[in-house]
Chain A
């Protein structure tokens, strides 16, 4: 196996710190001692890959996948799409993107969510897709509702979709959240604002993209994702482990 080079060290400045007291749950769940830094090795530079064979035709269609196509979910129909790249700007093809979200009323299909908004019997709230050979993915879904949550006196989560991305190595693993352009709750949300730099937070806000909206059907939002890249190694042609 060709040595593709170590992962580029993570730029922690763009990520939320562990301890963010406005988001109260982080207080007791944040490590306080320094992380151990080490150049990546095979444990981080390899990772699971998933074949097309395990995906169903509706896996990336949350409007229809919970009912297996029998009845559509309620809500504003949207397309969420984007490009998965690494830090060097190279597309990441054939990688797994998974999403989960609340329904149009702001309630999750989870045994522990007891919010008073109704469950939509036709909406499961999760989907998955592989990026194509150029690194693009897309999901058809409904716009999730905002909802209140117990943190400070009256905190509300902005409309958001959770995204989980693998990349091609275990060290690229990332979970993040997509917010929607124009939502005033973003500025008030202690979770969104764990990202300290406004420019970095803005990269989690998907803009409306009318060029991808389909007339009389759905609006479209674009959300590109950048994963860690690899450092070029001096030993490009050397076999790994030798």
Chain B
């Protein structure tokens, strides 16, 4: 084990379990009215600047079955690449959404604004992307990944360029299926396993 004597140790993770929706999305769990407003209901509100998009997908386990108890969260900047809380951010973009895999089909839907590119520390280039966090029964610690877009210029992106196995890069890129429509499937293991991040 790495010894880090000057730091406290982070609290260990535990699986969110199959009933994560009770705590995080009570209406989806069948308990509407628990709260007046739920956390992460919408990534955007009316009047958000930019292109409104819908991303659909499924989370597949190692046997090829779509997981039907997953909960996902997204975090992203606005169309200009500015994160909520930063100066000049679009007030109609919360940037944060919670959405569940459908209990029957496993299909999820994220409706949001297409994020803009931005520069990070040291001027590093970040192509437009949405950060994703996935929890479910059997996932012991939430999985981080990113959604990029196949109709954007992804060359020069800091993270994509760090993927050594180039054939895995497409697992991070949503495919355009129509005007404002994208498909992004996530594979937890096996052929086409999604690149997950330790970040």
Contact = CB atoms under 8 A, between A and B. Distances in A.
What is the interface of chain A mostly: helix, strand, loop, or mixed? loop
Interface stretch (A41-49, A71-79, A210-218): A41-49
B159 to A, nearest CB: 6
A241 B192 CA distance: 34
B83 A42 contact: yes
A191 B14 contact: yes
Given A36-B159, A110-B30, A203 B12 contact: yes
B158 A126 contact: no
A14 B10 contact: yes
B131 A43 contact: yes
Interface residues of A, number: 92
A20 B67 CA distance: 18
A29 B39 contact: no
Interface string A99-134: 110000000111111000000000011101000000
B11 interface: yes
Nearest to A56: B36
Interface in B116-131: 118-121, 123-124, 126, 129, 131
Contacts of A113: 19
Interface of A: 1, 3, 6-18, 20, 23, 25-33, 35-44, 46-50, 54, 56, 59, 65-66, 85-89, 96, 98-100, 108-113, 124-126, 128, 162, 164, 170-171, 173-177, 191-192, 194-195, 197, 200-201, 203-204, 224-229, 240-242
